[in-house]
Amino acid sequence: MRRPKVADQISHAKRRFKARLGLKLTPKLYASMIQDIQGGQAELVDKQSNRVSIFRLEVDGHTVKVVYDKHTKAIVTVLPSTT
């Protein structure tokens, strides 16, 4: 049986977070990032579609851009740093 889409999105985000920032995306940190996005503390950078948006937020001293899916309420990935 196939895993739900949201589980795949979270798994992908965890892998990219580790690969691109060298940090482990813990459940507590993930929940904090979701709370910042949903609570309006994260900066909206771009709206890709009615479902997907890019947000900028601070995570453990790093400024990161994340792709957020509002239908699944999940962070899909962290984007590579442009600095």
What's the pLDDT score for residue 81? 74
Residues of the chain with pLDDT under 50: none
What's the pLDDT score for residue 66? 96
What's the pLDDT score for residue 61? 87
* CATH architecture for segment(s) 5-78: Roll (3.10)
Cα gap 23→49, rounded to integer Å: 28
Query: Using CA atoms in the order 66, 69, 70, 75, what is the torsion angle rounded to 10 degrees?
Result: -50
Q: Structure pTM?
A: 0.90
